[in-house]
Homo-oligomer: A and B are copies of this chain.
Amino acid sequence: MTDSETGAVRAAHGRARRGGKRERLVEAAVRVFHEQGVEKTTLADIARVADVPVGNVYYYFKTKDRLVEAAVQAHRDGLTALTGRLEALPGPADRLKALIGGWVEERERAARYGCPFGTLATELDKRDDGPDLAAGEVMRALIDWVEGQFGELGRPDARGLAVELVAAYQGMSVLTHTLRDPAIMTAQGERLTSWIDGIAHP
């Protein structure tokens, strides 16, 4: 971990409090990477949004790559938090429909910038691949969780259905983004919700 430790872990270690510049930098990185893409984003952009002097960034992250890793880790943490909240819902079908509902709610941002994680993963996969596997692992974690829900619904083909659902989300995000039309997200979201209903109540 080192640079990509979560805030919780570092707080437990008792260092780097005071304003939480590190946290602000990571939040800014996630946001600006989403809006501008990784390659177009300069460290100055991130520093400005985080309200941290440019040169000071290097105290927290030795290179731009470390900031990218931290951003990926933040997405991983966000996914864990999301699925944690969804687990509180009574049944797997409701959880999946809530997941889809959350995607649709973000349709305006999706129309502007695409899926926050999908666009990042796509871009990182074209970098001088090092530990970009991390992006793949986050995507895999999402599919794994969805697979678990389909499994609870008693479907033996849970993996295939999970890939189908996540792919549908990524695909409708790409079209929503490329055509700049949030209505695509709404329409396809409704289709997926009906599809879940059809699987849950056959």
| Interface, chain A (partner B; CB < 8 A) | 35-37, 39-40, 113-114, 118-119, 121-123, 125-127, 135-136, 139-140, 143, 160, 163-164, 166-172, 174-175, 177-180, 184, 187-188, 191
Residue pair B179, A140 in contact (C-beta under 8 Å) = yes
**Copies of this chain held together in the complex:** 2
A168 vs B184: C-alpha distance in the bound complex, in angstroms? 13
Residue pair A37, B167 in contact (C-beta under 8 Å) = no
Give 12 A-B pairs besides A139-B178, A143-B175, A160-B187 with Cβ atoms closer than 8 angstroms.
A37-B39, A113-B125, A121-B177, A122-B178, A136-B179, A163-B175, A166-B171, A166-B175, A167-B168, A170-B175, A171-B172, A171-B174
- Picked from B113, B122, B187, the residue with its CB within 8 Å of the CB of A174 is B122
Residues on B with beta carbons closer than 8 Å to the beta carbon of A140: 179
- Decide yes or no: A171 and B167 within 8 Å by CB, A126-B36, A179-B139 being known contacts: yes
